[in-house]
Structures are given as C-alpha cells and as structure tokens.
Amino acid sequence: MRRFRVISLVLCISILGWLIFVSSASAQIKLSYSIFFPAPHKHSVLAAEWGKEIEKRTNGRVVVTMHYGGTLTPAPQVYDGVVKGLSDVGMSVCGYTRGRFPLTEVVELPLSHKSGWAITKTINDFIAQFKPKEFDDVKMMYMHAHDPGLLHTKKAVEKLEDVKGMKIRAFGAATKIVTALGGAPVSMAMGETYEALSRGVVEASIAPYEALQAWKWGEVVKFTVEAPAMYYSSAFFIAMNKAKWNSIPPADQKIIEQVNSEWIDKHGKGWDEIAKAGKDFTLQRGNKIIQLSVDENRKWERTLKPLYDDYVKSMKDKGLPGDQVLQFFLHTLYKYQK
C-alpha cells in the first residue's frame, strides 16, 4: 500500500509538472520578425539582439524569431505584411512604398544632417509629438534613419553640370533630389542595385556610406560625392501587428516599450559605426571621395531649396501640417547636433 501511495504521488507530481509546462508553453507569445537586411548586417544583428533582450526581460514569455533577407516578406511588402499578419513585426523603409507615409517624407528632404544618431533621435521625437495617422494601422515600436545620403558614381562628379542626364538609382521622395540636380532617377530596392551598377543599368546611386561595404557597392563605383547641401536620409520603421500587440499582457508591453527606447540609440549609433566602415572600405579599394567646394555646394543648395516649399505645399494639399513638421525637424536636428 505504501509503495502504491509513493507511485501515485510521483505520478501526480509528474502530471502536475506536465500541466504547468503545457500551460506555460501555451502562454508563451511568439513573434515572427521580417527584415530585408541580410543576417550579417549591423541592423539585422541589432534587430536580433532586440528580440533576445525582450525574451530575457520577459523571462521567456515573449520570443522573437527572425526572418532575414526578405524571405518572409520582400522589402516593399513588409509594412502590409505586418498589417495583414503575415509577420508579427517588420523592419523596412518607408520610401519603398512612396506616398504611403506622406508626412514622414520630410526625412527624405536635403536636411543637411550630420549623423545617423541625430536624425534617428529626431524622427522618434517626431513620432512622439505628431503621432502621424499614416501609421495608425500598426503599433510602432520605434524608427531609425541613416547618416547623410551621398552620391556614389562610376565617373567623377565635381560640379552640378556633371549630374545632368545621369541615370541614378533612388527611391521614394529622394528621387526628387535626383531630378532637381538634373539626373534621371531610376527606382529600385537596395538588393537590386549592385547588379544594376555593375551592368551599367544605372551610372550612380544615392545612399549612405554603409552601402559601399554592406551592399558591396564599393566594388562597382569609383567615386563618392560629399555634398552637404544634398544630405538626406530614409525613414526605417519597426512596426508590430496591432492585434498581436494587444494580445501581449500590459506588463510585457511595458518591457517591450523600454527596450524600444534603448534600441533607438543603438540603431542611431549603429548607422554612424557602419558609415565609418563603409568609408574605410571604399578608400581601401582605391576609390576617391570628392568634396564639393564651398561655392559649388552653395549652388547645389540653391538648386535643392525649392524642395522644402514643394513638401509644405504637398502636405497642405493633403490637409497635413507639413510646415510645422519641417520646422520641427530643422529645430530638433540643430538641438541634437550642437
């Protein structure tokens, strides 16, 4: 009888443990994360670390699984994929779906910012203050934006006239910069650009220094033009499906929000780190960096300034406060760059 009781007790404990395990496993929230960057890229690494940090702080209640290289949803479809639940979380570029995020296109203007950290801090302040309705169908985690966008070319560009008629890869509202400079914009995503440059489909591309190493453009261009007057950026979102967000307990939502705030700094500084790596990479290959003269840069500045008025008017036509947003960006950038 005593032996029977012991066996029964062990059995009960085993069943109870199994029930607790099943209950715990069923309560675990699993998040699929779609990202177009390849796995080794700095921003993929940071995204994976974001997921690991959330898993750690929630004691395994929230687990993030990464899907790199656009394998779950291609870059232009990441946002809609999040909205529809094809992925729970996604990172991509607003400019890949031009016109979808009109107010946020301000970041693609030639704002002449100096660092990825400063523009990343600014864009998150913008989200917090203006709460743009264009993101109402997702739960925004945070955003980041790259260091100054530059002109990378196969032939030397030292004056505005050298750009005339040049086929230049661009996307989103940044195509307006190319057009204003006299170039011919060709829209395409990052993953297509190396081959397009290599085959001569385009003669140049605009992007931050990061592209020269991370996307290997330094192998197929010979020059990079540093023209402060055209320094623009691109807005990157990290968004979560609303229904999935609402399924997460409030205590864990609070943890995720805290991690988000920390990763704003990490991604901003990350851009500046890979900018240096990209610049070093292209110089090591013997490529040349061209810095415009002061007078030439002023000529580019006069050519590009009308884009500010175009943005404000376009937003006004849509009933959006473009004038306020533009002034906010210029003022906030100055604050972070002092």
Compute the residue count for the chain: 338
Distance between CA 146 and CA 123 in Å, rounded?
11
Can you give the pLDDT at residue 314? Answer: 97
CA 14 from chain center: how many Å? 48
What value does the mean pLDDT take over residues 64-91? Answer: 97
Q: Which domains does the chain have, with CATH numbers?
A: 29-337 (3.40.190.170)
* Residue 34, beta-bridge partner list: 67, 90
Distance between CA 266 and CA 264 in Å, rounded?
5
- Tokens for 127, please give them: 């989200």
**What's the helix, strand, coil split of the chain in %, to 5?**
55, 15, 25
**What per-residue string of b and e applies to 293-332 under the rule 16 or more CB within 10 Å gives b?**
eeeebebbeebbeebbeebbeebeeeebebeebbebbbeb
Residue 228: closest CA among 136, 298, 279? 298
Rounded to 5 degrees, φ, ψ at 148 are -50, 130
- Residue 20, pLDDT > 50, answer no
Run of H or E including 226? strand 223-226
- Residue 247, pLDDT > 60, answer yes
Residues whose CB is less than 8 angstroms from the CB of residue 243 and which lie 6 or more positions away in sequence, other chains included:
85
Distance between CA 57 and CA 175 in Å, rounded?
42
* Residue 229, beta-bridge partner list: none
Percent pLDDT > 70 in the chain is: 92
Contact 167, 183 (CB under 8 A): yes
Distance between CA 235 and CA 104 in Å, rounded?
7
Distance between CA 144 and CA 238 in Å, rounded?
8
- Tokens for 99, please give them: 């016109």
Can you give the pLDDT at residue 1? Answer: 56
Percent pLDDT > 90 in the chain is: 89
- Residue 23, pLDDT > 80, answer no
Residue 21 — pLDDT band, cuts 50, 70, 90? Answer: very low
Rounded to 5 degrees, φ, ψ at 85 are 85, 15
What amino acid is encoded at 156 in this protein? A
Distance between CA 120 and CA 222 in Å, rounded?
29
Query: Residues 50-59: pLDDT tens digits?
Result: 999 999 999 9
Measure CA of the first residue to CA of the last residue in the chain; give whole Å: 82
Determine whether 36 is exposed, middle or buried from the number of CB atoms within 10 Å of its CB (0-12, 13-18, 19+): buried
**Where do we find the tokens 């700095």?**
42
Query: Residues 91-143: pLDDT tens digits?
Result: 999 999 889 999 999 999 999 999 999 999 999 999 999 999 999 999 999 99
Query: Residues 267-282: pLDDT tens digits?
Result: 999 999 999 999 999 9
- Residue 199, pLDDT > 70, answer yes
Query: Residues 148-195: pLDDT tens digits?
Result: 999 999 999 999 999 999 999 998 888 999 999 999 999 988 889 999
Can you give the pLDDT at residue 22? Answer: 39
Residue 8 — pLDDT band, cuts 50, 70, 90? Answer: low
- Residue 292, pLDDT > 80, answer yes
Residues whose CB is less than 8 angstroms from the CB of residue 92 and which lie 6 or more positions away in sequence, other chains included:
34, 35, 36, 75, 76, 78, 79, 236, 237
Contact 43, 91 (CB under 8 A): yes
- Residue 208, pLDDT > 90, answer yes
- Residue 24, pLDDT > 80, answer no
* Residue 153, beta-bridge partner list: 204, 223
**Where do we find the tokens 């909205």?**
83
- Residue 4, pLDDT > 90, answer no
Rounded to 5 degrees, φ, ψ at 167 are -80, 115
Q: What is the mean pLDDT of the chain?
A: 93
Can you give the pLDDT at residue 70? Answer: 96
